A = this chain, B = another copy of it.
Amino acid sequence: MSEPSVNAPRRPSKGERTRARILDSATELFSRSGFNAVSLRDIAAHAGLTHAGLLHHFPGKEAVLIEVLSRRDRIDAQSVFPGIVRPGTPEPGPGERLRRLVGLVARNSGTPGIVGLYAKLSAEATDPGHPAHHYFKERYRVLREEVTVLVEALQAEAGAPARSAPETVARQLLALMDGLQTQWLLEPEAVVMEEVVRDFLRGLGFLPGDGAGGAGVSG
């Protein structure tokens, strides 16, 4: 049987290994120097082939970037919303999902290179016709839906009647996280993204206030 079953990892072909090598090289170089400063020739050389050889695996430079970022997206999403990546997987409870989401914000502070790429590409991709346009539209749609569901659950748990529509709060939270990244990238030492996000969530009643402890989401 050389037919692999759906979930069994099979031996990668040579092409797949080259592709992976290219993505690893691109991730490293993009993270270090950004998108514009890195040429296809740089990536190809780092991966051990020529730029024309690289373009056999990817249609263009931006396609490489999109693949780099969507690979990371998949990893991040899996940690917060496992159901996105593996449909049917049961999501953790709302409190746990929120904890993981804030943890993701904190973890991003360790990879300014990637965060910067994300900020740049998501801005460029607002242009219809940009190769990553549909990817980002879809990304925001999925994230907004997941966060909306999360907010609904948190509002229900919070007890007090919800002041705002869950979709609106979801938009606010995602916008806040994105906008904070820009401020943090400009002045990394002056901003603690995680703290600002926590403060916002506290205002919504999703995290205990800084006085007497509330419902147990400590430390």
Chain A residues at the B interface, C-beta cutoff of 8 Å: 34, 36, 116, 119-120, 122-127, 133, 136-137, 140, 160-165, 168, 171-172, 174-180, 182-183, 185-187, 191, 195-196, 199-200, 202-204, 209, 213-215, 217, 219
A161 CB, min distance to chain B CBs, angstroms: 4
Give A65 to B12 CA distance when docked, in angstroms: 46
Q: Are A174 and B179 in contact (CB under 8 A)?
A: yes
B178 x A217 contact (CB < 8 A): no
Known contacts A116-B127, A126-B116, A204-B203; decide if A196 and B182 are in contact (CB<8 Å).
no
- 28 CB < 8 A contacts A-B: A119-B126, A120-B124, A122-B182, A123-B124, A140-B186, A140-B187, A161-B213, A161-B214, A161-B215, A162-B214, A162-B217, A163-B202, A163-B203, A164-B199, A164-B202, A164-B203, A164-B217, A165-B217, A168-B196, A172-B176, A172-B196, A175-B175, A175-B176, A175-B182, A178-B178, A178-B179, A179-B180, A203-B203
Provide the residues of chain B in CB contact with A202, threshold 8 Å: 163-164
CB distance from A158 to the nearest CB of B (A): 12
Bound-state Cα–Cα, A171 to B117, Å: 22
Query: Which residues from chain B contact A219 at a C-beta distance below 8 Å?
Result: 165
Residues of B near A124 (CB, < 8 A) are 36, 120, 123
- What residues of chain B lie closer than 8 Å to A160, measured between beta carbons? 214
A162 nearest in chain B by CB position: B217
CB < 8 Å neighbour of A187 from B122, B127, B137, B178: B137
A164 neighbours in B (Cβ, 8 Å): 199, 202-203, 217
